[in-house]
Amino acid sequence: MKLVIPSKYDILTLFYWRNVYGYSWFFANLIYILPAVAIALSVHEFAHAFVSYKLGDISQKQRGRLTLNPLKHLDPFGTLSLIFFGFGWAKPVQVDPYFYRNKKDGMIWTAMAGPLMNFIVGFLMVILYMLFIRFGLLYKNEFTYYLFQVIGTTASINIGLGIFNLIPIPPLDGSKILMGILKEETYFKLMQYEMYLSFIMIFLLMSGVLDGPLIHAREAILDVFVKAASMITGLG
């Protein structure tokens, strides 16, 4: 069974579909998109803070980032940008690697935690999606139908956000993972061009050049999750 999430719910193409279907469609579907975005960004930032804290960074507890409360993680402008333009940001978790026993390994694990959590949540949402189908909850009433749509949208956005953040360009998590892998001398030479790389990333996003590869990657991961979830829920 294939997980059917219309591409118009895909956070990477919201701007395009808004133009195609008009503002009435776009705002009507915000009831599914908003909770999905809040969940995806909150679990992402929480994971960064939690792993950093477990590695010795006590500042995360002091800053109040060890929570899933969206209000502690969402940046108003970044959230609006994600909804309207397909890319955005949350309040960044400021980590202090000086608390880590091994600074390079600590940075890798902390950076990986956000995307990994998005993939985990995405997979759990796919399982829930399948369970709704398995037990006939989809059309039981309006509320269960709403939950079904939110679950599907949350799965899609979490997977997309996880993939996007693995791109090794500042300020994305992939660049921090790269920092832990490369020699410091090589990494800091690259970071001399950090500002230019960031502008290139923004241009690629705004131009839509990355939409195809990112959507293709998301669909590939989603397909794997659907097959695994189908076996778990007995729908395979």
Residues paired with 74 in a beta bridge: 90
Distance (Å) of CA 166 to CA 15, 142, 202: 22, 37, 15
Q: Which two tokens stand for residue 139?
A: 């059309």
Active-site residue, from 45, 184, 185, 194: 45
Please, which residues bridge with residue 236 across strands? none
Pair 43, 121: CB distance under 8 Å: yes
Q: How far apart are CA 151 and CA 172, in angstroms?
A: 26
Q: Select from 32, 226, 23 the least CA-distant residue to 130.
A: 226
Tokens standing for residue 231: 């076996």
Q: What share of the chain is helix, strand, coil (3-state, %, to 5)?
A: 75, 0, 25
For residues 126 and 147, give the distance between their C-alpha atoms in angstroms, rounded to a whole number: 13
For the question of residue 45 being annotated catalytic, the response is yes
Catalytic residues: 45
